């Protein structure tokens, strides 16, 4: 498997379907690296420790985390299986962003941002990342999240190892559209 395919495969088994290769994630989402490698090989895929470590180190979205002793691995965020990453609530920046597409806007305006099949709503600290996320599904529509007010009202924000901001739900009253005049051609805020 090349690195891109390996990353996608690891995302599948460490976020959504560990049972597909016969592994079990612990309550915090960790699995023993040796057990993961053995299970991957037993299911017909070629993956060794150096290749795994390279995928972890070079993944542009930093999707995976190795434990400090290098013996365990987990997905940094994005799970649809029940795990508790053990993250402590932290104070977010005053504004966060979410990228979506127009077809989702009616339900978002009615119900806010919900995690759907995942355990958390994912938010970005900058417009360009939110735009990239939204563009995966079509022409992106960017939403600004009033994170400061939410935090002041008791909403708990978490930040994953890879910098993605996580929250259980963003009610619609904390969302506004990011206007075209607010972004420069490179996608950064003016």
Q: Give the gyration radius of the chain's Cα atoms.
A: 18
Question: Backbone phi, then psi, for 160, in 5-degree steps?
Answer: -70, 165
Go through the domains of the chain in sequence order and give each one's CATH number: 3-75 (1.10.10.970), 95-182 (3.20.170.30)
User: pLDDT value at position 182?
Assistant: 54
C-alpha dist (Å) from residue 138 to 62, 107, 109? 23, 17, 19
- C-beta atoms surrounding 93 within 10 Å: 15
Residues of the chain with pLDDT under 50: 181, 183-190
**E strands in 7-67:** 31-32, 64-66
- Cα–Cα distance for residue pair 91/158, rounded to 1 Å: 8
pTM of the shown model: 0.79
* Residue range 104-122, pLDDT digits in tens: 999 999 999 999 888 899 9
Chain centroid offset of residue 164 CA: 6
């Amino acid at each position: 498997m090349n690195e891109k395919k390996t990353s996608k495969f690891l995302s599948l088994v460490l976020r959504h379907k560990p049972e597909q290769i016969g592994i079990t994630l612990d309550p915090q989402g960790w699995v023993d690296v040796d057990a993961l490698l053995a299970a991957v090989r037993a299911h017909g895929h070629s993956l060794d420790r150096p290749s795994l470590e390279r995928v972890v180190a070079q993944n542009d979205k930093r999707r995976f985390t190795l434990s400090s002793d290098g013996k365990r691995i987990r997905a940094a965020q994005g799970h649809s299986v029940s795990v508790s990453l053990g993250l402590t609530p932290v104070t977010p920046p005053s504004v966060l962003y979410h990228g979506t597409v127009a077809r989702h806007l009616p339900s978002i305006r009615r119900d806010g941002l919900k995690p759907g099949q995942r355990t958390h709503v994912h938010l970005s600290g900058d417009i360009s990342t939110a735009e990239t996320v939204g563009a995966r599904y079509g022409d992106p529509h960017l939403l600004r999240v009033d994170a400061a007010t939410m935090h002041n009202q008791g909403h708990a924000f978490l930040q994953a190892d890879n910098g993605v901001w996580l929250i259980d739900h963003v009610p619609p009253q904390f969302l506004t559209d990011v206007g075209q005049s607010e972004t420069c051609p490179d996608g950064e805020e003016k």
